[in-house]
Chains A and B, each alone.
Chain A
Amino acid sequence: MANITSNTESQRLNFWERIYLPEIAKGLGLTLRQMFKPTFTRQYPEERWIPEGSYRGRPVLVLEEDGERCVACGLCSRVCPALAIEVRAAETQDDKERYPEKFEINMLRCIYCGFCEEVCPEEAIVMSKDYELVFGSQEEGIFGKDKLLVPVAQLQERLEFLRQWR
């Protein structure tokens, strides 16, 4: 019977391990030490976590003083793996010539992958730090331009992160 491996309890454990009690005492010692360590828990509604620039929260459109950066090229909509973004372009008299007449992200579909941000040639759509998303209905989950446009000042940290690491 040379081709059989054996790994029984009596082979694995020595005498003291087999009578359990010293090992149980060790385990109890471990849990006792844990009791005096600081807790990891955050008191959530009162204490809220502020993410770093690298955090991928809900995607938003960058709003500058003279309007949004977006030129409605539709790349984000094209790359989105969850088909969450819908863009309808229109013409404008500004230098950029095009702007999104309608820009909708279905937050029920969004998977926070960040592809839209990666593909955007204008740095117009970025991932924000906003992670608290609550809807009362499916319709509320579709964010239009009113909810998506965020002033550039609030997104500075993310834009710097993208310039440094992308």
Chain B
Amino acid sequence: MSLTNLIVILVQAGILVNMMLMAAAYMVLAERKIAAWIQNRVGPNRVGPWGLFQSFADVFKLYIKEDIVPAAADYKFHALAPVIAIGVAVTTYAIIPFSGPLIELDGVKYGLAMAPNMNIGILAVLAMTSVGVYGVALAGWSSNNKYSLMGGLRSAAQMISYELSMGLAIIGVVLIAGSLNLIDIIQAQTDGMWFIFLQPVGFILFLITALAETNRAPFDLPEAEPELVGGYHTEYSGMKFGLLYLAEYANILASSAIMATLFLGGWDIIPFLDDSTVLGLAPFSLPLVILGHMAFLGKAFALVFVFIWIRWSLPRFRYDQLMNLGWKVLLPISLVNIIVTGLVILFLQ
């Protein structure tokens, strides 16, 4: 690893972490605004024009709050849980290729992606989201509170059940692209069919399991207020609570970005057509790459909107319904999806 390589990676890490924090802050605002519009309300509009600085006010408030640790809690694990949650959420961003190659230094091309050519790509993403369960389960367990424990357990059970269908939903895409590498998956969709058209069932399965993985409504059982108070973060306050909350939104954006990569063509701008000929720009030229980056972010944030929209439309599932859906419906459908995809690929060859 050369010095330039190291500096570039540090710069990328700085950009990505700040991008994630800003995006999470504004997703909280977007969540509240969209919820308000759906309920014919106005939403936050006091802090700054149109309520734009509301999130900063919230974060500032969280910083000056007292950090309460329950007397019966296991302090070390209580403090460790939010760190695991946010650490894992941030790590996922290292793998997602947010843009194509932007600059060339010493003969190596760099884009806004830290480890874009990792050959286990999507597998690493799945591994990271699995580690995310530890943060939540640990938060619930170390709080020594029955509601927290129930929330943590539910979350762990839910994530493990849905991870299976999520992994199987991806296999269809991997079969068509012939690679786990996220760049290769995007290249397979560029100038051709996006995988949402080839794998519609896979996309819907992935969307549903992503909702369950990120603990979003209608699968937000781990924090079901009427039963479990706050769920696994009942006993958290101050910035530790803030980190758990931030990790949730970071996971939503990560899931959206992965969906954009796998099913919506990543940085491909126009489906079915060759971008460079339609827009009259050379392939991999700087304007095209920047436009592609914008397209990627547009797709990711459109999916974030879908996440929020679903949350404010659908009621929460019951626990047995959740498990039924995961094991008896989604798992068989994803298996059938793999078999059908495999057979079609076999016959086309």
Q: A-side interface residues toward B, CB under 8 Å?
A: 21, 24, 27-28, 30-32, 34-35, 37-41, 43
Whether B40 pairs with A24 at a CB distance below 8 angstroms is no
B: contact size bracket: 10 to 19
Whether A34 pairs with B39 at a CB distance below 8 angstroms is yes
Q: How far apart are A47's CB and chain B's nearest CB, in angstroms?
A: 11
Residue of A nearest to B38 (CB): A31
Q: How far apart are A144's CB and chain B's nearest CB, in angstroms?
A: 38
Partner among A24, A32, A37, A39 whose Cβ is within 8 Å of the Cβ of B314: A24
Whether A31 pairs with B309 at a CB distance below 8 angstroms is yes
Partner among A30, A31, A37, A39 whose Cβ is within 8 Å of the Cβ of B42: A39
Whether A41 pairs with B41 at a CB distance below 8 angstroms is yes
* B8 on the A face (CB < 8 A): no
Q: How far apart are B165's CB and chain A's nearest CB, in angstroms?
A: 15
Q: How far apart are B208's CB and chain A's nearest CB, in angstroms?
A: 10
Q: Which residues of B contact A35 (CB under 8 A)?
A: 34, 37-38
* B119 on the A face (CB < 8 A): no
Beyond A24-B314, A39-B41, A43-B42, 18 extra complex contacts between A and B, CB < 8 Å: A24-B313, A27-B313, A28-B309, A28-B310, A30-B313, A31-B309, A31-B312, A32-B309, A34-B38, A34-B40, A35-B38, A39-B36, A39-B37, A40-B40, A40-B41, A41-B40, A41-B41, A41-B42
Q: How far apart are A59's CB and chain B's nearest CB, in angstroms?
A: 33
Q: B-side interface residues toward A, CB under 8 Å?
A: 34, 36-42, 204, 309-310, 312-314
Complexed CA–CA distance, A43 and B45 (Å): 10
Q: Nearest 3 A-B pairs (CB), nearest first?
A: A31-B313, A35-B37, A41-B42
Residue of A nearest to B306 (CB): A28
Residue of B nearest to A38 (CB): B40
Sample (28) of A-B pairs whose CB atoms are under 8 Å apart:
A27-B313, A27-B314, A28-B309, A28-B310, A28-B313, A30-B313, A31-B309, A31-B312, A31-B313, A32-B309, A34-B38, A34-B39, A34-B40, A35-B34, A35-B37, A35-B38, A37-B40, A38-B40, A39-B36, A39-B37, A39-B40, A39-B41, A39-B42, A40-B41, A41-B40, A41-B41, A41-B42, A43-B42
Q: How far apart are B35's CB and chain A's nearest CB, in angstroms?
A: 10
Residue of B nearest to A36 (CB): B37
Q: Which residues of B contact A21 (CB under 8 A)?
A: 204
Complexed CA–CA distance, A34 and B313 (Å): 11
Q: How far apart are A100's CB and chain B's nearest CB, in angstroms?
A: 46
Complexed CA–CA distance, A28 and B36 (Å): 15
Whether A34 pairs with B41 at a CB distance below 8 angstroms is no
Complexed CA–CA distance, A43 and B51 (Å): 14
Residue of A nearest to B34 (CB): A35
